[in-house]
Amino acid sequence: MPLGETDRGTLHLDLNRLLAGRCLIQGSSGAGKSAALRHLIEEAHDYLTVMIVDPEGEFGNLAEHIGAASIRASEIATDGLTAAALRARHHRLALHLDLTALEPDIRIQKAAAFFAGLLASAREDWAHTVMVAIDKAHLLAPRRLGYGRSWGRSWLAEEDDLIRHAYAHGDNLAPLRQRLGRSRASIVFHVGELGLHGTHARPRGWRTDPTWTDKQIAVLRRDYGRVPTPELAARLGRKKGGIFMRRGR
């Protein structure tokens, strides 16, 4: 498939190889990334089902040209988008998902619901190749971690359940932070939003350091007061505050 002209001649793309894997189009602003994606869609739609994910509503005319049905994510609930993706995958329908008029976090959630439907399709539906073309994919990436308010990514119901479970069972904060991919401050703030402050199963609340082993506790009891605290903390892989908190137990 010809993509365009270069100083060395015509640039071609192996469409069969592309459809067997993934393709990322990179370039500076105005370099023609969206134009290249349009060209790919125009060349591919005669051979397979095409689904266009359009965060800025720039592909509406192309969707009409190739006969793809357009759905506006702002008018459909997340479970409706999942159902639409499942149905389109099963019946091999070309779709154009318009994600305009949505707040960034809502746009990400609705796109995720649509992708979940595509991935959850029945085994027999996977026998038919589908090209999912995503324009401006960076707009569907979670923003940087924060305190869960205006500039943090939205909290999901599954994450809320994990925090409630941790509070009910007195779990350590460190592994939960890794699992959620969020900062300690973000989790603590959201705990307040969930109304969980003061309900942790452990009297002292979150354990912010890794769980103490019997061997570490034995070393602490043996060396505390004999070895300088900074040295003891380094030996045990702890902070000084963790040593002070543990020494009296």
131 and 165 co-located in one domain: no
92 and 182 co-located in one domain: no
97 and 164 co-located in one domain: no
Domain for residue 150, yes or no?
no
Domain for residue 64, yes or no?
yes
> What dihedral do alpha carbons 198, 201, 206, 210 form, nearest 10°?
180
Residue 247 confidence (pLDDT): 63
Output Rg (C-alpha) for the chain, integer angstroms: 26
Q: How many structural domains is the chain composed of?
A: 2
Q: How confident is the model at residue 146 (pLDDT cuts 50, 70, 90)?
A: very low
List the structure tokens of 43: 């060349």
CA–CA separation, 243 and 248 (whole Å): 9
Domain for residue 148, yes or no?
no
Residue 144 confidence (pLDDT): 47
For residue 216, the one-letter residue type is Q
pLDDT in tens, 30-56: 788 898 899 889 988 888 899 999 999
Q: In this predicted model, which residue has the larger pLDDT, 67 or 216? A: 67
**pLDDT higher than threshold 70 for residue 142:** no
Q: How confident is the model at residue 147 (pLDDT cuts 50, 70, 90)?
A: very low
116 and 175 co-located in one domain: no
**Could you give the percent of the chain with pLDDT greater than 90?**
29
23 and 101 co-located in one domain: yes
123 and 164 co-located in one domain: no
39 and 133 co-located in one domain: yes
Q: What is the mean pLDDT of the chain?
A: 83
131 and 221 co-located in one domain: no
76 and 130 co-located in one domain: yes
**pLDDT higher than threshold 60 for residue 239:** yes
Domain for residue 70, yes or no?
yes
Question: Residues 15, 44: contact at Cβ < 8 Å?
Answer: yes
Identify the domain boundary among 74, 107, 140: 140
For residue 117, the one-letter residue type is G
121 and 230 co-located in one domain: no
Residue 9 confidence (pLDDT): 87
162 and 127 co-located in one domain: no
pLDDT in tens, 55-98: 999 999 999 999 999 999 999 999 999 999 999 999 999 999 99
* Boundaries of domain holding 198: 157-247
Domain for residue 147, yes or no?
no
Between the ranges 96-110, 203-217, 234-248, where is the mean pLDDT highest? 96-110
Residue 153 confidence (pLDDT): 65
59 and 169 co-located in one domain: no
Q: How confident is the model at residue 4 (pLDDT cuts 50, 70, 90)?
A: confident
